[in-house]
Amino acid sequence: MTALAGERAWIALVELTTDDPLSILTAIQQQPDVVQLELLWKQATTALLQVETTSPPLLLPLWEAGIPIKLPFSIQNGEATWELTTSDSRFSALGTELENAGIDFELESVSSVDSTRADRLVTNRQQDVLATALEAGYYATPREATLTDVADRLGISKATCSEILHRAEGSVIRWFLAERSGTESEPDSVLSD
């Protein structure tokens, strides 16, 4: 949710949502660079953690490349999704830093700063998933395809398909309602690593 960089340690506030928090808490605590893990709050499948580490593997490449990150960002099933704004040279440096750290990454979309809001409404990946869902009949009435059908067409898990569609649908709905009411609303565009 938020992070603080210090000279000797990094501190992050993490919201964890899982059916099995104990195994994830244990895995975090067993990391050699984790100095302290505090459970601040827990209810049902959600917990709030404060983690202090000497070497945050996902944030160090950003730090080394000199790129600020939009917080919060999500990590789902071991995959982090970031939204970044930076120069071409720093973005290139980030790619090098990620490769040096042995972190696999996938670029979902790139927009120039002067792009229109419509250009940033959904990522290329979200657009592909939405188009596949529409083509399959997922949005037809009555529905002609299930979420599983759409996921199978794309060769991705049902959970991943659901997450991508949910983000895209949310961006489109927020944009539509903002346009109707005349207020500004930023879409959820992302960089996935």
pLDDT in tens, 88-128: 888 889 989 999 988 888 887 776 655 556 566 888 889 99
Residues 6+ apart with CB under 8 A from 131: none
Residue 182 has pLDDT above 80, yes or no: no
Indicate the angle between helix axes 158-181 and 147-154, nearest 10 degrees: 110
Every domain of the chain with CATH number 1.10.10 lies at 124-192
15-53 confidence digits (pLDDT tens): 988 888 888 888 889 999 999 999 998 888 888 999 999
Question: What pTM, to 2 d.p., does this model score?
Answer: 0.49
pLDDT value of residue 163? 93
pLDDT value of residue 9? 83
pLDDT value of residue 191? 41
Any long-range contacts for 78-84 (C-beta under 8 Å, 24+ apart)?
A: 79/192, 79/193, 80/192, 80/193, 81/190, 81/191, 81/192, 81/193, 82/190, 82/191, 82/192, 82/193, 83/188, 83/189, 83/190, 83/191, 84/191
Q: Measured between alpha carbons, how far is 52 from 50 in angstroms, rounded to an integer?
A: 7
122-165 confidence digits (pLDDT tens): 888 899 999 999 999 999 999 999 999 999 999 999 999 999 99
Q: Which CATH architecture has domain 124-192?
A: Orthogonal Bundle (1.10)
pLDDT value of residue 154? 95
pLDDT value of residue 79? 83
